[in-house]
A and B are shown apart, each in its own frame.
Chain A
Amino acid sequence: MNKGFSIDCIGYALFAVFVLLIIPWMANYSGYDLNSYARYLVLGMVAAAVALSWGAAGILNLGQALTFGIGSYIMAMHLKLKASGAQAEGMPDFMVWTNMEELPWFWEPFQSVSFTLAAGILVPVAIASLIGGFMFRGRITGVFVAIITLSLMLAVQLWMISEQRFTGGQNGLTGLAVLELFGWSVDVYGLAFYYMVAGCLLVVLTLGLLFLRSKAGLVLRAIKADPERTRFFGYDVSTYEIVAFATSAGIAGIAGMLYAMILGFASPTYMGLSLSLAFVIWAAVGGRESIVAATLGGIGVNMAEGRLSDLFFDQWTLILGVTFIVVVLFLPRGLFGLVMDLRIKLESHFMASPIARVNTLLDKYSSETAVSQREGK
């Protein structure tokens, strides 16, 4: 907890520069490319959510796309209602086709922007707290958590597809309006929208880093290593696990809302198997031990996917697949693990680095003050 804070800050600042300055420059400050990069940032945010529960607390959530999808549907419901204002009784078109008489009660509150934004975070958090409560109070761990989260997600996806009159079924929610935020009509191809997404990402990551840097993050690392032992020091392990799980779900919810805006529709594939597994893979490639590294993993893989699919029409999935296998086999801690190993090597090579010297000075100072305090008594 005490060590390496300055180096982490430098790393994070570099990341912020990359997101705020370099990417917009790469995309020429507007247009389709900028929209794509905004999408990559959002997907990177989900990878960070995976790292927050998996890397920090050892909870492998294979159903991360569930809360991501719920977030996207919540945003899409609001935008769909806005787009359907001109229709009879303001009902969305698919409801008219399925002979619904009136707007279902649970659609009603999504007329309001602020309700939608709050629900996009709080509904995923509430659902995750409920699922987490059952799992972690029952001391379910490891692979069983992965199985439960995965199957729950698939069950919800099936339900969403079958209840077409409420959810738009297989088609999802399409033909959405543009979000209006405090009188600002959001253009998802503009620079302002990109900065809104980047801002969301940086705020989420900062809060996540503070969480993991605090003693709560330390307790999560202890739980990951040995939950039993942690209990005997008086920590309520299940509560910590629920908090990590629910925080991760809230982040996925935010990402889902942004994603529905960027693509202009919400679809059941957002809570599908392949996307959910992809989240985990991106986090693994970047390095699940750091939420920033996992974000970079998400951004990097998606950028590569964009480029590769242009260059090699059919083979790019093959290239990606081989890359993943290589990473899992040779870099189980992801690219971040590689960087950390290098850093440790460098540190032991230059033992008397300025940072180490400052640390020893600080220790000396605090021990001296402790001594003088004792003598003063």
Chain B
Amino acid sequence: MAALTLEKLTVKFGGLVAVNELDLHIRDGELRCLLGPNGAGKSTTLDLICGKTSPTSGRVLLGNQDITHLPEFKRARAGVGRKFQTPTVFKDLSVIENLEIGRSAFPGVFSTLRIFRTPIRGRIREVLSLVGLEGEIYTKAENLSHGQTQWLEIAMLLMQDCRVILMDEPTAGMTAQETKQTASLFRELQGEHTMIVVEHDMTFVRDIADIVTVMDGGSLLAEGSITEIETNAAVREAYLADTGDDHA
């Protein structure tokens, strides 16, 4: 069963075709890595899925539901969660308040008017210990370290409990140690959530990926297991030509 399907998804900004007739099928519980040189259209693809950008043509299906024309908040309610490239948490709010925002099963005004306290037990405590923020419950998000901020955003997505989670460079700016912890966190989530991860760090990708999709110039270049991709001639060419193979 496909959790997410993109059908001939295309978006043009003026004359530039950022994403070109992209087809993608992602199984339930799969962890898909999206690779490609800068400007390949990876982040734009995530934008198209979560509704930040509207496609010029093509369709986005979540399960069997066509979400191509839904506004952002309805897509989020349907089960699409997004982690942005630069960690985007609410800096003025404490860790626990950020998680309460993430816990959005009942997002209507009349439901939220009746909640006055975040119970620090059950799922919230689980998520807090999963991302190692148990000691920072009342810390304002702006006082967290960069790695902790990334984890807080991941934790918010876990509270949101989406069917499909889109992660844009979740390890950007993390130390090697933090990256390792993130990889083990992702392996724990595998199977429970369907995830699409855009990442440059090849060690990280080798650590976590089921299937890797490589994009170049807005189109799909190659798809397969990590070993298949690393020996693929077209991929080597695209990468070597653009950025150099500095990660591998």
Binding site for B on A (CB under 8 A): 1-3, 211, 213-216, 218-219, 221-222, 225-226, 228-237, 239-240, 243, 359, 363, 366-367, 369-370
Q: List 17 A-B contacts (CB under 8 A).
A: A2-B96, A3-B94, A211-B113, A213-B116, A216-B113, A218-B100, A221-B93, A222-B101, A229-B84, A231-B71, A232-B82, A233-B101, A233-B107, A234-B104, A235-B107, A236-B73, A366-B121
B76 touches A363 (CB 8 A): no
The CA of A3 and the CA of B100, in the complex, are separated in Å by 13
User: In the assembled complex, which residues on chain A have CB atoms less than 8 Å from the CB atom of B125?
Assistant: 367, 370
Q: For residue A239, which residue of chain B has the nearest CB?
A: B109
Known: A231-B76, A234-B104. A214 touches B116 (CB 8 A): yes
Known: A211-B113, A218-B97. A367 touches B50 (CB 8 A): no
> For the complex, would chain A's binding face be called helix, strand, loop or mixed by DSSP majority?
helix
B73 touches A2 (CB 8 A): no
User: Which of B74, B117, B160 has a CB less than 8 Å from the CB of A1?
Assistant: B117
B76 touches A234 (CB 8 A): yes
Confirm or deny: B88 has a beta carbon within 8 angstroms of a beta carbon on chain A: yes
The CA of A243 and the CA of B118, in the complex, are separated in Å by 23
Q: For residue B92, which residue of chain A has the nearest CB?
A: A225
B101 touches A363 (CB 8 A): no
Q: For residue A240, which residue of chain B has the nearest CB?
A: B109
The CA of A235 and the CA of B96, in the complex, are separated in Å by 18
Interface residues of B in 91-123 (CB under 8 A from A): 91-94, 96-97, 100-102, 104, 107-109, 112-122
The CA of A26 and the CA of B102, in the complex, are separated in Å by 49
Q: For residue B117, which residue of chain A has the nearest CB?
A: A2
Beyond A213-B116, A228-B52, A369-B121, 19 additional contacts (C-beta under 8 Å) are A1-B97, A1-B116, A1-B118, A2-B120, A2-B138, A211-B113, A214-B115, A215-B100, A215-B113, A215-B114, A216-B113, A219-B101, A219-B112, A225-B90, A225-B91, A234-B74, A234-B76, A235-B73, A243-B109
User: In the assembled complex, which residues on chain B have CB atoms less than 8 Å from the CB atom of A221?
Assistant: 90, 92-93, 97
The CA of A291 and the CA of B74, in the complex, are separated in Å by 32
User: In the assembled complex, which residues on chain A have CB atoms less than 8 Å from the CB atom of B121?
Assistant: 366-367, 369-370
B79 to chain A, nearest CB (A): 9
Known: A233-B76, A233-B156. A367 touches B113 (CB 8 A): no
> For the complex, would chain B's binding face be called helix, strand, loop or mixed by DSSP majority?
loop
Confirm or deny: B81 has a beta carbon within 8 angstroms of a beta carbon on chain A: yes
User: In the assembled complex, which residues on chain B have CB atoms less than 8 Å from the CB atom of A3?
Assistant: 94, 138
B99 to chain A, nearest CB (A): 11
Q: For residue B105, which residue of chain A has the nearest CB?
A: A234
Known: A226-B88, A363-B120. A234 touches B77 (CB 8 A): yes
A226 touches B77 (CB 8 A): no
User: In the assembled complex, which residues on chain A have CB atoms less than 8 Å from the CB atom of B94?
Assistant: 3
Known: A3-B138, A218-B97, A363-B120. A231 touches B115 (CB 8 A): no
Which of B82, B94, B113 lies at the interface centre, i.e. has the most chain A CB atoms within 10 A of its CB?
A: B113
Known: A1-B117, A214-B113. A231 touches B101 (CB 8 A): no
The CA of A2 and the CA of B100, in the complex, are separated in Å by 10
User: In the assembled complex, which residues on chain B have CB atoms less than 8 Å from the CB atom of A211?
Assistant: 113
User: Which of B82, B93, B107, B118 has a CB less than 8 Å from the CB of A236?
Assistant: B107
Which of B91, B115, B121, B138 lies at the interface centre, i.e. has the most chain A CB atoms within 10 A of its CB?
A: B121
A369 to chain B, nearest CB (A): 7
The CA of A198 and the CA of B49, in the complex, are separated in Å by 53
Closest 5 A-B residue pairs measured CB to CB? A234-B76, A370-B121, A215-B115, A215-B112, A216-B112
Known: A215-B115, A363-B137. A231 touches B72 (CB 8 A): yes
Known: A215-B100, A234-B76. A367 touches B120 (CB 8 A): yes
Q: For residue A370, which residue of chain B has the nearest CB?
A: B121
The CA of A370 and the CA of B123, in the complex, are separated in Å by 10
B73 touches A234 (CB 8 A): yes
User: In the assembled complex, which residues on chain B have CB atoms less than 8 Å from the CB atom of A240?
Assistant: 109
The CA of A1 and the CA of B115, in the complex, are separated in Å by 10
Known: A230-B101, A232-B50, A232-B81. A216 touches B92 (CB 8 A): no
User: In the assembled complex, which residues on chain B have CB atoms less than 8 Å from the CB atom of A219?
Assistant: 101, 112
B114 touches A218 (CB 8 A): no
User: Which of B90, B109, B120 has a CB less than 8 Å from the CB of A216?
Assistant: B109
B97 touches A237 (CB 8 A): no
**A-contact 0/1 string along B148-160, CB 8 Å cutoff:** 0000000010001
The CA of A66 and the CA of B232, in the complex, are separated in Å by 67
The CA of A226 and the CA of B101, in the complex, are separated in Å by 12
User: In the assembled complex, which residues on chain B have CB atoms less than 8 Å from the CB atom of A2?
Assistant: 96, 117-118, 120, 138
B76 touches A226 (CB 8 A): no
A4 to chain B, nearest CB (A): 10
The CA of A246 and the CA of B186, in the complex, are separated in Å by 43
The CA of A233 and the CA of B103, in the complex, are separated in Å by 8
B104 touches A235 (CB 8 A): yes
